[in-house]
Structure 1
Amino acid sequence: MKPAGSAARSPLFLRIFLLMLGCVAVVQLMNLALLIAVQTPSAKLYTVGQVVHAMGRGHDPAGDLQVERVPAVQPVPWNPRAERIEAALASALGVSAESVRISFPTPFLQREQVYRRTGVPSPAPISPAVARDVVITGGFSAALRQRDGQWLRVEPAEGFEPWRWFVLLWLIFSALAVAPFAWALAHRFAKPIRAFAAAAERLGRDPRAPQLELEGPSEIAEAAAAFNTMQARLNRYVDDRTTVISAVAHDLRTPLMRLGLRLEDAPDALRHACEGDIRDMQGLVSTALAYVRETSETPVRRPLDLRSLAETVVDDLADRGEAVTLAPGEPVVLNGNPAAIKAMVTNLVINAVKYAGGADLTLALAEGHAVLDVRDDGPGIPPEDLEHVFEPFFRGERSRNRDTGGVGLGLPSARAVARAHGGDVELRNRAEGGLIATLRLPV
């Protein structure tokens, strides 16, 4: 189904795709700017004389080199560069080449290159003065064996160079620059999902809630139209069946009235018995019509104090001599249909009074819901019937006497009103005996 005006809507896929392309473009532009703006890092230069000076003093006054004593130095594969510098370092120190060792770090994600000694001439002897001027480029590790068998190792001091600070700050700035695009993308994804979640929540609380607006990309508009169609079909489905039940219950009044007229000439014993049955049927029809009316009419909701409403119900029953109490507490305000909620609370309390002789009510707030508990000390309900009692015309009292069992529409009506307000009614047996009916309504 295509909603009106959908031809002018750009698809959600295209919007997200273009937004991602824009995000990637910004990142690449930032990288290009970094490539142009950053200074090329220059390799640090050291001389053999600096290394010899640091070894002689045990530290480097300039702070460019760090000196430490280590128990052993790992041997490294031979390479011509290390051999030449080792020869220069040994000449400058006046020791044999076996007493010094130098190694260079392997570049990140690269293998250490393996050289063959064959065909490479040995380095020529070099005077100590010239050896001190031999340059060492980049990182290295030079070691001199001491008389006690330990090694004196010299390495460049580790430090965070200025160009690294520049790159780090640039990356942080790039992340901040891309953050609005990422936020827009996440918002674009989450907004329609939040809208559908809110619509589903409204539909659960009120089947006649306003429909979703057909806005946004074509996919979202089509999904909203499908959701609205589903909501309309559900309402029609319920309305059609409610209308049938209401019509049947209403039309039953006419044959009942005719039966009453025809019984006027019947014998007294037969007439009295049949009139009692007719009265029972008329009461059943009236109850069914009231149930249909309560569950199908469009509710008018406004803020109300559930505690004040419960106090009114309790006071009315207490004035009739019923053992009904309500624990004191703070006001609990929620949005609802006052008439429907009062009828629901009255239904639950009268149910407890009828079967247990009294009721104790408590009202509190818990996790964003108003929780009303109606406790009694009656016989309870068999566990297998705790859910069946919410089915229309099901009676937990197995006799068919309306004076003791009712018609089986009280609890279904109460649950229908609670669920229409986004809440629910549950029953459970108390461990100490009796029953507790719990009403939960969102505030």
Structure 2
Amino acid sequence: MLAVTFRGPPPHARPLTMDEVAAAIRTGQSENSDWSLDRGQGVKQPSGMRPAPLLAKALALRLGVPEQNVRLYVAGPAMPAMGPRPGEGMAAFPFPGSPKNGSRPAFPMAGMGGRGPMLHDSFTVSWRNGDHWSWMTGERHGSLRWYAITISLMILIFALLLGPAYLVARRITNPIHRLAGRVTAVSMERREPLPVEGPPEVRKLGQAFNRMQAQLVGHVAERTAMLIAIAHDLRTPMMRLSFRLEGLPEKDRAKAHADLEEMRAMVTTLLDFVRSGDESLVMLRIDLAALVEALADDMTAMQSSVTMADPTRTIILGDAAALRRCIANVVDNAVRYAGNAHLSLGQADGHALLRVEDDGPGVSPDHLARLSEPFYRGEASRNRATGGVGLGLSIARSIMEKHGGAMLFENRDGGGLRVTMQFPLAQ
């Protein structure tokens, strides 16, 4: 529609007939809304226009005045003399002031449907009325008026269509928005299927998501059961090995016991990782500052280089045991790799921010995003003397997510790693 309006030619104004010009001269008003008229006193002979004697004669007949008392000029070419077509006679123009005997002068119509000659372009007419002259000019309205009317109609149509279109769009998108929100809220702890509603396509999408979620939950359950079974089965042979080690010489027995304890620690860590995804939490109001201070004191008592800045009282909702294990894993990771850890607790934007910083070498920027992945270690050699099995930070991340928090890893400007743990404050 816009292309037709602005690219296509505007419609032509309706021509002005001699009858309408004569009526405008008598009344001062035009019956044709496509033209604007102006008038004044005197004789006006505009430049750039041509005299049209044939049209002037037709107008004089309608006005009932002699031909010499009417002068007509047109912007376009003057209408040539036209005779009747074969089979057409001479049509007469009735006008006021015609002879009383009923005779009427004739004028060639040339197949104009009985309307007589017409004006298509701007014109100027002067006529004599008694002893003084008057003039009138006519201009066609430009295409601006047509554009204004067309654009106004388009705006009106669009406004009328906007309401129904908005309602239809809302009906389609609302179920999608609700589905997206529920998908975002789904986790392994909330395994109920999504409500299926809305248009058929949205219902199919919801059903497909529920099937996918059921399959994922099944796979996770199978993996968890397998890992728990393996960890439990390993404890039995390890127990038998510990008894048999008693018969070894003292020197060999100490080394064997150390290896066995390392295996037990690995199995325990694996079980903690598996259970961290399935354990249910008891959410209570907790003073995070007191919990972190107690943890720092305990680790310092075990000869770990752990310090903490004076914290402010910070209340969050959480499970105390799970939070302690989560924070302990992050602090232990710093002590293990860097030899020290410095803790600070603050608040910002409705969240508690616990920062654990160390003075170690830091981590390659390419590896920062992978530090909380299961079994991933920043130390590529996987030497047990410099780290565990790579599950401590994964367990911490899992616990953080259950508390609605997040962990951010970044290298410090002066060297070392900074882990920022973010918890939502209790309302």
Which range moves more in the overlay, 408-417 or 337-346?
337-346
Correspondence for 2:291: 312
Q: Could you say which structure has the greater relative contact order, defined with CA pairs below 8 angstroms and 6 or more residues apart?
A: 1
- Quote the offset at 1:236 in angstroms: 1.0
Correspondence for 2:256: 274
- Quote the offset at 1:390 in angstroms: 2.9
Correspondence for 1:4: none
Correspondence for 2:340: 357
Correspondence for 1:143: 124
C-alpha spacing 1:327/1:54, structure 2 compared with 1 (3 Å)? farther
2:168 to 174, 177, 185: 185
AA aligned opposite 2:272: A
* Pairs within 5 Å for 1:317-356: 317-318=296-297, 321=300, 322-325=306-309, 339-354=321-336, 355-356=338-339
Equivalents in 1 of 2:185, 2:217: separation in Å? 14
1:101 to 67, 70, 74: 74
Q: Does 1:197 align with 2:170?
A: no
Give deviations 1:103-126, integer Å, cap 9, x for gaps.
8xxxxxxxxxxx986536999999
- Quote the offset at 1:188 in angstroms: 2.0
Equivalents in 1 of 2:297, 2:407: separation in Å? 24
- Quote the offset at 1:249 in angstroms: 1.2
TM-score (norm 2): 0.63
**Contact 1:66–1:156 (Cα < 8 Å) also in 2:** no
Equivalents in 1 of 2:227, 2:238: separation in Å? 17
Task: Return 5+ residue gaps in structure 1 as ranges.
Answer: 1-42, 56-63, 104-114, 146-150, 159-163
- Quote the offset at 1:360 in angstroms: 4.2
**Contact 1:207–1:235 (Cα < 8 Å) also in 2:** no
Structure with greater Cα Rg: 2
Equivalents in 2 of 1:221, 1:127: separation in Å? 78
Give deviations 1:374-401, integer Å, cap 9, x for gaps.
3333321233433443343333346666
**Structure with the larger helix share:** 1
Equivalents in 2 of 1:86, 1:338: separation in Å? 108
Correspondence for 1:411: 393
C-alpha spacing 1:175/1:270, structure 2 compared with 1 (3 Å)? same
C-alpha spacing 1:302/1:191, structure 2 compared with 1 (3 Å)? farther
- Quote the offset at 1:362 in angstroms: 5.2
Which range moves more in the overlay, 252-261 or 81-90?
81-90
Equivalents in 2 of 1:316, 1:397: separation in Å? 26
> SS state of the match for residue 267, structure 2?
helix
**Contact 1:310–1:345 (Cα < 8 Å) also in 2:** no
C-alpha spacing 1:220/1:173, structure 2 compared with 1 (3 Å)? closer
Q: Does 1:283 align with 2:256?
A: no
The number of equivalent residue pairs is 355
AA aligned opposite 1:234: L
User: Between the two proteins, what is the percent identity of the paired residues?
Assistant: 32
Equivalents in 2 of 1:440, 1:70: separation in Å? 89
Give deviations 1:44-91, integer Å, cap 9, x for gaps.
x96546458869xxxxxxxx8556999976889x9x989845986997
- Quote the offset at 1:256 in angstroms: 0.8
- Quote the offset at 1:353 in angstroms: 4.2
TM-score (norm 1): 0.61
- Quote the offset at 1:263 in angstroms: 1.3
**Contact 1:87–1:123 (Cα < 8 Å) also in 2:** no
The two structures, once aligned, show a CA RMSD in angstroms of: 5.3
- Quote the offset at 1:364 in angstroms: 4.7
1:380 to 362, 366, 369: 362
